[in-house]
Amino acid sequence: MAADDVKPNEQIHPGRPVIVDRYTVGARINHWITAASLILLALSGLAMFHPSLFFLSGLFGGGQFTRFIHPWIGVVLFFSFLGLFLRFWKANLWQRDDGTWLARFRDVLANHEDNAPEVGKYNAGQKLVFWSMSVLIVILISSGLVAWDQYFFQYTTIDQKRLAILIHSIAAVVIIGVWIVHFYSAIWVRGTISAMTRGRVTGGWAWRHHRKWLRELVTRSRKETGPSGSKPAE
């Protein structure tokens, strides 16, 4: 259509934005079970951590039930995160460009992401969160089992339990900090939370924040469908 053909009161509307599939339904459910478990563990753990925080036990029906339910939530967290680990560990393997991305993190914060290397499905910061969570959850479940007297009292000594509780507490504080960083980053990068709630992102979002991943999706889609076919990106 030529420009002269447009009537004065007629508006030209752009086409619908390109939508890219980022997470499956299963992955999203897996993620939110993990997130909910971590929050419940933090609240119940803090209730037992210091007398000034004991009021949090009211969220779980009192101190006795809090002490009972806390390790079981930990078991749910472990197996739920194991599901996430099996899904995403390959996408979180460290690449040479990740070190360069970290070195140019100030440019990323200043919204100059073009100065940083193109990012795959996850950037270096997300990978650090993933591997930190992986290590910390293993430490938490291991130390938690040692201190779980209801089932494992006879297998460990008092000194081992004391050491396990100390390690458990330190790891818990660290993982809460990692979770705060993860949550803040998800809010800071607009579109990240909706990607995990709806499973989709716009092509513009993918091009800006995860350009290498988008290129890989397009290349894979062309190979699978041919030049005239159509298929969801993931």
Helix, strand, or coil (residue 160)? helix
Q: How many CB atoms lie within 10 A of CB 123?
A: 24
What's the pLDDT score for residue 144? 96
Element (H, E) at 41: helix 25-49
**pTM attached to this predicted model:** 0.85
pLDDT tens per residue across span 75-108: 999 999 999 999 999 999 999 999 999 998 888 8
* pLDDT tens digit sequence for 173-223: 999 999 999 999 999 888 899 999 999 999 999 999 999 999 988 888 787
> For residue 116, is pLDDT > 90?
no
Helical H segments across 189-210, by residue range: 192-198, 203-209
**C-alpha distance from residue 39 to each of 2, 19, 33, 183, 207 (Å):** 58, 31, 10, 12, 32
Which DSSP string do the residues of 53-110 spell out, in sequence order? GGGGGGGGTSHHHHHHHHHHHHHHHHHHHHHHHHHHTGGGS--HHHHHHHHTHHHHHT
200: phi then psi, degrees, rounded to nearest 5: -130, 155
Which residues are annotated as catalytic? Answer: 182
